[in-house]
Amino acid sequence: MHVHVTVDQGGWQPAPGPEPGSRWWQRIRWGYNLALAALSLTLAGPWGALLASVRDEESLAGAWVMAVIPLIVLGYLDNARRVEAAAAHPDLWTPKWRAAAMRLLLWAAALGTVLTLPITTLVYALTGVMPA
DSSP secondary structure string for all residues of 70-114: HHHHHHHHHHHHHHHHHHS-TT--HHHHHHHHHHHHHHHHHHHHH
The C-alpha atoms of residue 116 and residue 86 are separated, in whole angstroms, by 33
pLDDT tens digits for 52-75?
999 889 888 899 999 999 999 999
Q: Quote the CA–CA distance of 68 and 78 in Å, as a whole number.
A: 15
Domain parsing of the chain, residue ranges: 41-127
Find the range with the poorest average confidence among 6-10, 43-47, 64-68, 116-120: 6-10
Answering whether pTM is above 0.85, one says no
**pLDDT-based confidence at residue 131 (cuts at 50, 70, 90):** low
Asked if residues 112 and 45 have their Cβ atoms less than 8 Å apart, the reply is yes
What is residue 121's predicted lDDT score, i.e. its pLDDT? 86
